[in-house]
Structure 1
Amino acid sequence: MENLLKPDFFNTSDDTIKTMMSTVISATLPKTINTKLTKPVNFTLKHIREFDPSGSLSCVYWNISEWIVDGCSVLETNSSYTVCSCVHLSTFALIMQSSRPPESDSLLDLLNLVCVIVGLVFFSLALLTFALCQWSPGVNNVARINICISLLLAHLLFLLTQQFLSLIRPLQVLCAVISGVLHFLFLSGFVWMFIEAVLLFICVKNLSQISSKKREVLSSGFLCVIGYMVALVVVAVSVGLVPEGYGSEHCWIKRDKGFIWSFLGPVCVILALNMILFINIFINLNSTLKKLNAEVSQMKQTKTMTFKTLAQFVVLGCSWVLGFFSNGSKELEILFLILNSQQGTFIFLVYCVFNNEVRQQYRKFFRCLWCELKSNTIKRVLKKC
C-alpha cells in the first residue's frame, strides 16, 4: 500500500523531501457509526527506512485523496519506531519530512578533486623518498611510512567512492563496507601518529642516557602490530555493537545514535595523549640541553625532529578538529578540505624537501638522470650520422 499511497500525497506548505517511514495500516470497528473515539487509540509503527534526526515525523491518515494529520499526533519516537496517537480509526502511516540537500557546488567539487589528487601525488613522492633514500642510522621512518600508506589508501578510496557515489550508494552492503574500511584507514593514520610521538619521546629520553649501551628499542614488527591492530579492534567493536552504523548517504559513518564518536572518540584521545607527550618531550629536551651531555649534532637533529613532528601533529590532527566546527560554514568547509587533502604535501615538504640530506640525494639523482639523458641523446645523434 505504501507504494500506492505515496508520501507525495501529503500536502504541506514547506518544500521538503517526504519519505514513507512505515507500512500503511488500517483499523476499523465493525457495527459502529461513531467517527470519533472517546479515548485516543495508540499504535506503534516500526521504521522501514533510516531515520534522519534532523527530519520531522508526522502521524497521518488517508482522507479520500490525500494524507492529513487532523486528530493524529506523535506520542513517542526513537530511531527504530514511533508511537502515534489518534482520536479516530482509519488508514494510517508515518511520514518523515526532511530539508532538501543544498545544490551541488561544482566549484567546490572541482576544488576537492584537484586538492585530493595533488595530495595523493605528494603522498606517493614521500613514500618513494622514505623507501629509496639513504637515511641516518638514528632516523626511524617506520611510523611516517605507515602514516603515508594509511592516509594514501584512505584518500584514494574516498576519492573513488565520491566519484562513483551514484553507482555505489544503492548497494548498501558495499557502501557500509567502504565506510568501515575508511574508518580503519583514517584511524590507523592517527594511531601511527601517536606511535611516532612515542618514538620521539624515547629518542629524547635516550639523549640523557647516551653513555649507556642499553637503549630502549621498539621493533618494526611490534610497531606494525600495534599500529594496525588498535584501529582494527576499534572497528570490530563498533561493528559488533552497532552493525547498522556504517553506510551513510556519502558512504561514511552514520551520525545518528552518536555512532560518529566511534571515530571522533579515539581521535580525541590520541590528540590529548600526543599533547601530553609533546609537553614531556619539551621538558626533557630542555633539561638535556642544559646538561649538554649529548653530542651537538645529535642534539640538533633531535630538536629538528621534535619541531617537525609537532608541526605534523598540528597539521594532521588539528585539521580534523576543524571538522567539528565546519557544519554550515562554507569558509570553514573549504579550509578543512584544503588542510585535510594536503597532508601528503605537508609530509613531503617537511620530511623530504626541508631535509638537507634528502636534498643532496635529490641533486645527485637528477644529475645522474640528466647525464643519462644527455648521453642517450648523443648516442642517437651519432647513430644518425
Structure 2
Amino acid sequence: MDINCADALKGTLRESTAVALITYQSLGDILNASFFSKRKGMQEVKLNSHVVSGTIGLKEKISLSEPVFLTFHHDQPGDKRTKHICVYWEGLEEGGWSTEGCSHVYSNGSYTKCKCFHLSSFAVLVALAPKEDPVLTVITQVGLTISLLCLFLAILTFLLCQPIQNTSTSLHLQLSLCLFLAHLLFLTGINRTEPEVLCSIIAGLLHFLYLACFTWMLLEGLHLFLTVRNLRVANYTSTGRFKKRFMYPLGYGIPAVIIAVSAIVGPQNYGTFTHCWLKLDKGFIWSFMGPVAVIILINLVFYFQVLWILRSKLSSLNKEVSTIQDTRVMTFKAISQLFILGCSWGLGFFMVEEVGKTIGSIIAYSFTIINTLQGVLLFVVHCLLNRQVRMEYKKWFSGMRKGVETESTEMSRSTTQNKTEEVGKSSEFLHKGGTASSSADSTKQPQPQL
C-alpha cells in the first residue's frame, strides 16, 4: 500500500496513530465474486487476490483527498482475454463489492495496481471478456472501410460539384462529415479500453458524433418540410435565412448540450468493460437512444406532412410540374435516409436477451450490416442517383481521359519528332562525310606531268 501519510493523518487528534494494512488469507472464500452485481458484459467473474484492508483508525471507510495505491498479487495468472477490476467492500445491504471511488491503473500476468480515494477493504476481481463473433468482426471492419471510402467520395462531391451547391447539399455535407468521423473513430478506437481516460474520451466523442448525425438528419427533414410547404404558402421561408440562423447552431449545439449534461450527471458511464461506448447501467444508454427516438418520430411527422402536401398538389392542376418532381425526388431521398439511419439504429432497441438467441443473432447481423453500410447507401442515394452529379462525373472522367489522351499524343509526337530529327542529323552527317572524302580523293589524284 502506497499512501500519503500526511494527507491520511490530517485532522486526527490522537497523539499516536498507525497506518495498517491487513491481509486476510481465507476471507475471499466467503466474500467471493458472487457479491459483485455489476457484471453486464462480463463472464466468469472470480476473485483473483487476497482481501486486504487499509485503515488508520476504527472507521470502516475513510475518505482521502490524495489517492492510495494498492498492488495485488494474482491468485491465477491473467491473459489477453481477462479484465481485472478493482473493488472495495461496500457491505451486504449496499450490494457487496463496488467499484465506486476505485479505478484500475495497471495489470500484467502477475500483478494489478489499483487507485482508490478512500480506505476500506479491497480486492481484485478478474472477468473473462465475452468471445466476439469473428464473422461480425469481419463484417464490421470490411463494411466500415467501404463506407469510409464512399463517404470520402461523397464529401468531395458535395464540395467540388458546383451545379448542386445549395442548402440541401450543405446539410448532406455536414451529415457525411459527422458520419465519416464517427465511423473512423469507431473503427480505430472502439476497443481501446486502456487507459480508461482515453476510453472515456473516445466514448464521449462517439456519443457526440452519432448524435450530430441524427441532428443533421432532423435538419434535413425540417428543410424538406419548409421547402414543400413553400409550394403552398408563398415566401414562407428562405433558404439563406434557414442556413444562417438554424443550421450550424442547431446541428452541433444540440448534441453538445446533451453531451455536456450527460458528462456532468454520469462521467463514469463513458467506457465499458469491453468497448469505449456508453454503459448500460442505470439507463445511461438513454442519453443516446432517447434523443435518437425523438428525432426519428419528429422526422416521421415531417415526412407524413410532406407526402400529404405533395398528394394534394399532384391532385390539382399546377404548372410548376418540374418543382413538384424535384420535391418528390427530395422526399424519396429523405425517406431513404431515414431508413438508412433511423431504422438501422432502431434495431438496437430489440437487441436484448429476452428475444432469444436465434432472433438476437438475426437482429445483431442485420444491425451490423445496415449500420456499417450507411456510408455506401448515402453515397448511392445522394450522389449516384443524382442526375446532375452523374453528369459532372462524366465531365470529370471525360476530361481526365482527354487529358491522358492529349498527353500520350504529345508524347508520341515529341518522340516521332525526335526520331525524325535524329534521322535528319545522321543523313546530313553522312552527306557531309561523303563530300569530304570525295574532295580528299580528288587531291590525291596524280597531276599531269609537263
The 1:17–1:6 alpha-carbon spacing in structure 2 relative to 1, beyond 3 Å, is: farther
**1:109 matches 2:127:** no
The question of 1:151 aligning with 2:185 is answered no
Tell me if 1:246 matches 2:303.
no
From 183, 204, 210, the equivalent of 1:180 is: 204
Structure 2 Cα separation of the partners of residues 202 and 119 of structure 1 = 30
Shift of 1:351: 1.2
Kindly indicate whether residue 357 of structure 2 is the aligned counterpart of residue 332 of structure 1.
no
Give the corresponding residue for 1:304.
329
- Matched residue, 1:52: none
Query: Does residue 192 of structure 1 match 2:216?
Result: yes
**Counterpart Cα distance in 1 of 2:361 and 2:185:** 24
Q: For 1:177 and 1:128, how far apart are their aligned partners in 2?
A: 29
1:323 aligns with 2:354: no
Whether 2:308 is the aligned partner of 1:283: answer yes
5+ unaligned residues in a row in structure 2: which ranges? 1-20, 35-42, 64-68, 70-86, 101-119, 417-450
Amino acid at match of 1:101: A
Instruction: Please tell me whether the aligned partners of residues 22 and 53 of structure 2 are also in contact (alpha carbons under 8 angstroms).
Output: no
Q: Is 1:382–2:396 an aligned residue pair?
A: no
**CA distance in 1: counterparts of 2:260 and 2:219, whole angstroms:** 21
In 2, Cα distance between the equivalents of 1:59 and 1:26?
Answer: 11
* Greater displacement, 250-259 / 2-11: 2-11
Q: Once structures 1 and 2 are overlaid, which stretch shifts more, 317-326 or 1-10?
A: 1-10
Q: 1:89-104 to 2 correspondence within 5 Å? A: 100-104=128-132
Q: What is the TM-score when the length of structure 1 is the normalising length?
A: 0.76
Contact 1:8–1:18 (CA under 8 A) maintained in structure 2: no
Q: Tell me the alpha carbon deviations over residues 292-335 of structure 1, each in whole angstroms, 9 at most, x when there is no partner.
A: 34500110010111011011101111101112223453332222
Asked if 2 retains the 8 angstrom alpha-carbon contact of 1:253 and 1:260, the reply is yes
The total of aligned residue pairs comes to: 333
Corresponding residue for 2:161? 133
2:46 alignment partner, SS class: strand
Structure 1 residue matching 2:162: 3-state secondary structure: coil
| Superposition pairs of residues 49-64 of structure 1, within 5 angstroms | none
User: Which residue identity lines up with residue 370 of structure 2 in the other structure?
Assistant: L
Residue from 299, 318, 322 that aligns with 1:274: 299
- Tell which has more relative contact order, 1 or 2 (C-alpha 8 A, sep 6+): 1
For the residues of structure 2 that align with 1:229 and 1:370, how far apart are their CA atoms?
45
Is the contact between residue 206 and residue 216 of structure 1 (CA under 8 Å) also seen in structure 2? no
Residue type matched to 1:325 in 2?
F
Quote the residue 1:202 is aligned against: 226
Q: Tell me if the contact between 2:207 and 2:259 (Cα under 8 Å) persists in the aligned partners.
A: yes
Rounded Cα–Cα distance in structure 1 between residues aligned with 2:317 and 2:28:
77
Greater mean deviation of Cα atoms: 137-146 or 271-280: 137-146
Determine the structure 1 residue equivalent to 2:394: 363
TM-superposed CA distance for 1:17, in Å, is 2.5
Shift of 1:78: 8.2
Alignment partners' CA distance in 2, 1:12 and 1:78: 9
CA distance in 2, matches of 1:2, 1:152: 53
The 1:107–1:383 alpha-carbon spacing in structure 2 relative to 1, beyond 3 Å, is farther
Inter-partner Cα distance in structure 1 for 2:333 and 2:367: 21
The answer for unaligned runs of 5 or more in structure 1 is 28-42, 49-57, 61-72, 83-90
Distance 1:363 1:169 in 2: 46
Say if 2:24 and 2:52, in contact at 8 Å, map to a contact too. no
- Taking the aligned partners of 2:312 and 2:26, their CA distance within structure 1 comes to 73
1:309–1:138: structure 2 CA closer, same or farther, 3 Å change rule?
A: same
Q: TM-score, normalised by structure 2?
A: 0.65
* Counterpart Cα distance in 2 of 1:197 and 1:23: 57
Pairing partner for 1:77 from 67, 81, 95: 95
Note if contact 2:28-2:50 (Cα within 8 Å) is conserved in structure 1. Answer: no
Superposed CA RMSD in Å reads 3.6
How far apart in 2 are the matches of 1:221 and 1:79? 53
The range that moved more, 101-110 or 199-208, is 101-110
C-alpha contact 1:247 1:253 (8 A) present in aligned 2: yes
Counterpart amino acid of residue 95 in structure 2: T
Structure 1 residues 191 and 9: CA distance shift in structure 2, 3 A: same
- State the partner residue of 2:258: 234
CA contact (8 A) 1:20 1:93 kept: no
Q: 2:285 aligns with which of 260, 275, 297?
A: 260
Q: Decide whether aligned partners of structure 1 residues 21 and 305 sit closer, same or farther in structure 2, where only a CA change above 3 A counts.
A: farther
SS at match of 1:24: strand
Change (3 A) 1:214 1:220: closer
Maintained 8 Å contact 2:161/2:392: yes
Does structure 1 retain, via aligned residues, the 8 Å contact 2:48–2:124?
Answer: yes
Distance 2:320 2:24 in 1: 81
- Pick from 222, 227, 243: which aligns with 1:220? 243
**Which residue identity does 1:154 align to in structure 2?**
A
SS in structure 1 of the partner of residue 163 of structure 2: coil
